[in-house]
Amino acid sequence: MPRKSALASKVETEIKLLQRHVTMLKAIVENQPIGIIRLSEMLNYPQHKVRYSLRILEQEGLIKPSPEGAVTTDKVDDFLDYMKSMLDEVGQTVQDVRKSLA
């Protein structure tokens, strides 16, 4: 197996981070209000990673804190539609890059 490339590994890392944020957002949508400890246990992520994802989701305006835990905002549906569209475009770009390697 060839060694890992710093170039390729950065893409992989960012995709996995995006996956964690989206997984967390979907869990909040389905279980809101929900706190850090419950999210950590439910998704099997360390609490520090949950906190980081919550901070990013809050900065994006997708969630907000409440006394009972994180709750979603009215921006979630538009964001999820945007993500689907963006991922379709990225998927096509990945296929184009793959074809160019042949």
Of 71, 51, 74, which is closest to residue 63 (Cα–Cα)?
A: 71
What is the CATH classification number for the domain harbouring 10?
1.10.10.10
User: What is the residue range of 19's domain?
Assistant: 6-73
16 found inside a domain: yes
Is the residue at 85 inside a domain? no
Q: Which residues pair with 64 in a beta bridge?
A: 71
In a domain? residue 100: no
Q: What's this model's pTM, rounded to 2 decimal places? A: 0.85
Q: Which amino acid is at 28?
A: I
For every one of its 102 residues, what pLDDT tens digit does the chain have, with 9 covering 90 and above?
A: 566 777 778 888 899 999 999 999 999 999 999 999 999 999 999 999 999 999 999 999 999 999 999 999 999 999 999 999 999 999 999 899 989 988
- Looking at the structure of the chain, the number of domains it has is 1
